[in-house]
Structure formats: C-alpha cells, structure tokens
Amino acid sequence: MGLKSIYGLTMEQLTDWLVEKGQKRFRAEQVWDWLYKKRVRNFSDMKNVNKETIELLQENFVIETLEEEIKQVSKDGTVKFLFKLADGNLIETVLMRFNYGLSVCVTTQVGCNIGCTFCASGLLRKSRDLDAGEIVEQIMKVQKHLDEQGKDERVSHIVVMGIGEPFDNFTNLINFITVVNDEKGLKIGQRHITVSTSGLAHKIYEFADTGLQVNLAISLHAPNNELRTSIMKINRAFPIEKLMKAVDYYLENSNRRITYEYIMLKDVNDHEEEALQLAKLLRSKRHLSYVNLIPYNSVEEHGQYQRSETNVIQAFHEVLKKNGINSGVRWENGADIDAACGQLRSKQIKKQSIV
C-alpha cells in the first residue's frame, strides 16, 4: 500500500516519532498546525518547518491517500463521497447539513462482517480495517471540500456510522477520535462525536473504560432475541441479555445517554407488540435512553424489506412516548441520491465488474 497517511498519528505519537528521529519537540506543533489549521496537501508547503524535518516526513508518510471517485450532491445539501483507497478499495463518506452544524458520517472498514439482513453495507464482506489515517482523512477531504466553497464552514459533528463495525476496529477508532478532538487541530468536541455499534458487548465495556465523553449509539432494531437474530446475526454472539448487561456497565461508568437505533421494517418489527416490548426493555434505564426510529431506505438486493408506512411509524412512536421512552423519527438526508449506507459503493463495484 506504500507510505501511510500522516493523519494516522496522534499529536503525542507525532511528537514521539519526531523526537526519536532527532528533531525538536516544537516541530510536531508546527507540522500539526500545517496539517489541521492550514490544511496543506504537500509537506513542501510547510514554510516554517526545517528542510531536515520535511525530508523525514516525505520519506515516511504521505498526506493524502484517498482519491475522490464520485461525488453526489442532494437537493437538501447532503453530499455523498465515494473515495478510492490507495489499494483500490472503495469507501463512502457523507456530509450532512443540520440546524446545529455540519456533520460527517465516516466509514471504518472496507466492507462489513456483521451481516445485517437489511443493510447495503454488508452486501460486500469485510476485506480489511481502515487505519486511523484513512478515517481521519475522510474528515479532511470533506473539510477541504468546504474550504474550496469559500463559505468559511467547518465540520462540527461526526457520526461513526458508515460502512463497517467501528468497535471491530477499536484501536484505530480511538486514535481517530483523539486526532479530530485535539485542541490544536480540528477541535471537534467529544460530545459532538457519535459512535454506533451493532452491539459488540465486550467492546462496550472497553469503550466505557476509556472515559471518553463521546456519544454511544446501539443498532438494536428489534426488542427480542428471536426477531433480532433473524435480522442481525450478531445477536447470536451477543444476545439482548448480554448486550443490556454491557449497557448497564456503560451507564454506571459514564452516566451518558445512549441512543438506540431502530430501523422500521414493514410488517417485521413495526407492530404495537414490538413497541411495547421495546418500552419494557428500556424502562429501567429510560432516563438515559433515546430511541431513534429510522424509516428504512430500500435496497435492491434486500427486496424482502420495505419501509414501514408513515402512520405505522407514528403509532410506534406514540406507544413508546406513552410508556415514558424518549424517541423521535429520523427522516433521511439525501433522499434523492444513494441514501442507504453502502449503496453507492455497491452500485459502483457492480458497474466495474460488468465493464
């Protein structure tokens, strides 16, 4: 794959590396400023950095490894990027506009092994993890896109909800968070970052122990084991009882609210019975729970699933509300482009295989 992206180093790692190579500590701050504040594309553009340091960086790292393959722009301002990695693999990154700021959804793996039966991301199996630099660079690519628009806009929020299971790439995930959160760099607050997991219980314990103030979202999608296992095979390894035990540990240690993602599948998980079961499941922790009801984005390859009717979604929401569970409906961004996670990537790979 060639040289790795320098974006993969935290400030501490960069400092240690430069000192080990005989450079002064302050060089790390200079380099960091050029990378994240001035956002240069070449080491040679770092004007106040000495020649020896520049040469060291050029010999060992690159700044950019991602190449923009496709960019889709929605009427609502959502921008979906398909990036080609140095090894030719494709990943997706999405810029979304909200009243509270600009949010970017990043990918953490090439493909996904979780195997949710409704999801476009899992159509192609995981071939590898992204390194921290490849995850950070997604943010940098989007920020540079914004810089080019000349409107003085910045990425203010991040959701780690793209292709892959973030907790299955734990070390690179934590390094990514450390880099984008750094006060001297992008300065994206931990509370403005949300990480979504399909429910790797053992990693929820580990995440709780980091002490990070990052938001946690859990892709639940069903309130009982039988139904959840039928649509999410991860439930075989981490059934709801095991998952909720990890949730309790996280809540005890962080006292931070968890968002439960619940995709609304017509005649599958959208009945009053499931709404009541979900309310019962979360009742003891409802003060730190929020349920995100997500209308399903249809995927050609998963034709067995359709989106629940709007009145059914509203009725489900009402049942939760009557039972004291905070919830809302998350209508999708970018409805006029390939909105479902993994959809654009899947389409492009199909096209390439036909040619």
φ, ψ of residue 70 in degrees (nearest 5):
-145, 145
Q: How far apart are CA 71 and CA 348, in angstroms?
A: 12
- Take residue 80 and report the two structure tokens written for it: 């979906």
Positive or negative CA dihedral for 68, 70, 73, 79?
negative
Nearest one of 164, 168, 115, 118 to 138, comparing CA atoms: 164
Assess contact for 192 and 156: CB atoms under 8 A: yes
Q: How far apart are CA 148 and CA 334, in angstroms?
A: 21
Helix axes 170-181, 132-149, angle to 10 degrees: 40
For the annotated catalytic residues, the residue numbers are 92, 341
Contacts 24+ apart (CB under 8 A), 223-229: 223/269, 223/274, 223/277, 223/278, 223/280, 223/281, 224/274, 224/277, 227/268, 227/269, 227/274
